[in-house]
Chain A
Amino acid sequence: MKNSIRKLFAASTTALLMAGLGACSQTPTQVSQQCELSETSNVDRLFAEVGEKLQDRSCHYSYPRYRDQLLSAAKGSPGPDNEARFAGLLRDTIDQGVISKRQGQALFSQYFDPEFYVVKDEARSSCSSLRQKDKLYAGMRSELAFKREGMLEILNDKQRFREAQQHFTDLQLVLDAVEVACTQDV
């Protein structure tokens, strides 16, 4: 009796897995046909196209690709208007449930906010956080690279990138001092 239950369970699990794998392999190919973006280099048109495609739930899978395409298109046409374009699109994608609000905030902050999202995300006290200072600094460095992309290459806003760099320097100075002070107590 036990054996037959085990066999039945194994068979149904295999069938479910096969069905799941089949679904995974089929969805993207179907999606890629109808969710493809045109070859346009017009940034406004491309943002509008992405907005339209994302109305279709089956195109939600393509969101990461859209995001990369938009980032690269915006770099081809840098300027302050790109911030509003990205903000509009992110708001729509949040409303449509493509990404969560937190994901949207993370993306927008990483590219366009002079402050560091990775630092805001740290919930522990400074003394505790700084036990993994290398990890925090690595996160800040990679976020600074995103900010360089967002502020210089996409918005062409040197002043804002300088602010981000200033934040980077100030934060490292303060956190270095705090780390030394915390370890002196031990």
Chain B
Amino acid sequence: MFNKRAMAVACGWALFLTHSLAQAVPQSAESSRPKINLFPTSVVASLSETSRAAREMESGMYTVVTRLDQQKQAYESTQCENSEDVGCVQLRKAIRGSYKDMLDVMQQSIPQMRTTLDDTVNSMGGSLRAEIGRKMTPGDVQRILAGRSASNAMSPRVSASGNRQGKLSKMFSRYYELVKRGGGQADALPVLASQIYLDSMQSLYFLDLIEAEIGSQSTELVLELEWGELTDQISATVTDVKALLWGDTDRSEDILEVGLETPPQQDTYSDLLVR
């Protein structure tokens, strides 16, 4: 008789504990969102370095590329193509001179830019791989994105500086500022980390493209062709350089809005939603 009563009490406690635990699990799962550190010191340092290198490259390039662009526009608008008019010949010569200047500046700046971009790609890629790729399931990533409201406080601030700033340096300095300001909240920013990583890779791709084009056109060849037509290669290189430095449209402002808005949460159907 006593044994039966003891069994019943034990079973009752077991049931109660099981029930309590079952109720506790979703709450603790909710509060213990996966913790990640996507922006260790190495990433922040390489971002700062990339931003500085990009600014240096741009300041060296801006004058020469603008001059080249103006000359090219004048050449096209005056229908100088295939013309032997003295003015057109001089304009072609001036374009080639500017082009050579641009190649020289690029050749000097590319190695440093590449080194800093490589560092950013490697450190950011390492972080993404270790913190998300190996530690988390895609569902964990989704949970982090869903709980990103904390990151809203650090929406990008538009630079008050009136200085002319290129796309590349602006992009990286904004990234740097965001990551730096993020502090403890930075673990909730896989979107930002991904954007930095993919943009760095794309910038490296453009650098490779430009370097390959520069390599295939020796400056001697450019000067030899003084009297010939402007080649497509020259136009292509100028286009790539402009895309790298300033872009067709400046995406740097809206990029950072992606994924940082706060979605209003409706949670009245928790039994039918998987968390």
B is bound to A:
yes
Which residues of A does B touch, CB under 8 Å? 83, 87, 90-91, 104-105, 108-109, 112-117, 119-127, 129-130, 136, 159-160, 163, 166-167, 169-171, 173-178, 180-182, 184-185
Contacts of B129 in A (CB 8 A): 127, 178, 181-182, 184-185
Q: Is the beta-carbon distance between A178 and B133 smaller than 8 angstroms? A: yes
Contacts of B146 in A (CB 8 A): 115, 167
User: What would be 6 A-B contacts, judged by CB atoms less than 8 Å apart?
Assistant: A130-B133, A130-B138, A166-B261, A180-B197, A181-B126, A185-B129
Q: Is B91 interfacial (CB 8 A cutoff)?
A: no
Contacts of A175 in B (CB 8 A): 138, 141
Q: Is the beta-carbon distance between A180 and B142 smaller than 8 angstroms? A: no
Q: State A113–B259 Cα separation when bound (angstroms).
A: 17
Chain B residues 124-164 with CB under 8 Å of chain A are: 124-126, 128-129, 132-142, 145-146
Q: Is the beta-carbon distance between A174 and B191 smaller than 8 angstroms? A: yes
Q: Is the beta-carbon distance between B259 and A124 smaller than 8 angstroms? A: no
Size range of the chain B interface in the assembly: 35 or more
Q: Is the beta-carbon distance between B133 and A125 smaller than 8 angstroms? A: yes
Q: Is B2 interfacial (CB 8 A cutoff)?
A: no
Of B136, B138, B141, B194, most A-chain CB atoms within 10 Å:
B138
Q: Is the beta-carbon distance between A181 and B136 smaller than 8 angstroms? A: no
Q: Is the beta-carbon distance between B138 and A136 smaller than 8 angstroms? A: yes
- Residue of A with least CB distance to B128: A181
Contacts of A182 in B (CB 8 A): 129, 133
Q: State A57–B34 Cα separation when bound (angstroms).
A: 44
Total of A-B residue pairs, C-beta within 8 Å? 124
Given contacts A170-B191, A174-B190, A176-B198, 14 further A-B contacts (CB under 8 A): A91-B272, A109-B272, A114-B263, A115-B142, A119-B139, A170-B259, A171-B145, A173-B194, A173-B198, A175-B138, A177-B193, A178-B133, A180-B201, A181-B126
Q: State A113–B269 Cα separation when bound (angstroms).
A: 10
Contacts of A181 in B (CB 8 A): 124-126, 128-129, 133, 197
Contacts of A159 in B (CB 8 A): 264
The verdict on A176 contacting B194 (CB below 8 Å), with A114-B263, A170-B259 known, is yes
Q: Is the beta-carbon distance between B145 and A167 smaller than 8 angstroms? A: yes
Q: Is B271 interfacial (CB 8 A cutoff)?
A: yes
Contacts of B133 in A (CB 8 A): 125-127, 130, 178, 181-182
CB < 8 Å neighbour of B269 from A83, A114, A117, A184: A83
Q: Is the beta-carbon distance between A171 and B141 smaller than 8 angstroms? A: yes
The verdict on A109 contacting B137 (CB below 8 Å), with A166-B259, A174-B191 known, is no
Contacts of B195 in A (CB 8 A): 173, 177
Q: State A130–B198 Cα separation when bound (angstroms).
A: 17
